[in-house]
């Protein structure tokens, strides 16, 4: 782990502002989702990138009702649906 030397104070509801420099370094943009996890006694933030619900691919192309699907799985499902009817 690399310390940035940046210290921030949590506000009264537990929020903290992540410096722009760190966001830019990690490729995180405003309105991206952040995954929060715990590693021993450390809080770890990761950019959340939704994966396909079927294969786990992060090359997601569409979403429906909060679930995401990649192009390959969408094509396979479409093919299966055509054979059913």
Binding site for Zn ion (CB under 5 A): 52, 54-55, 57, 70, 73
- Smallest separation, CB 66 to Zn ion (Å): 16
- Smallest separation, CB 65 to Zn ion (Å): 16
Residue with smaller CB distance to Zn ion, 17 or 55: 55
- Smallest separation, CB 68 to Zn ion (Å): 9
Alpha carbons 44 and 1: distance in angstroms, whole number: 10
Residue with smaller CB distance to Zn ion, 28 or 52: 52
Residue with smaller CB distance to Zn ion, 26 or 76: 76
Alpha carbons 51 and 69: distance in angstroms, whole number: 7
DSSP-H helix ranges across 1-85: 20-26, 71-84
Burial of 9 (0-12, 13-18, 19+ CB in 10 A): exposed
């Amino acid at each position: 782990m690399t310390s940035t030397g940046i210290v921030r104070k949590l506000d009264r509801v537990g929020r903290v502002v992540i410096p722009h420099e760190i966001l830019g370094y990690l490729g995180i943009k405003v309105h991206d989702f952040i995954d929060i996890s715990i590693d021993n006694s450390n809080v770890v933030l990761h950019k959340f990138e939704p994966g396909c619900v079927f294969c786990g691919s992060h090359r997601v192309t569409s979403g429906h009702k909060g679930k995401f699907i990649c192009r390959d799985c969408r094509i396979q499902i479409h093919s299966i649906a055509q054979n059913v009817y």
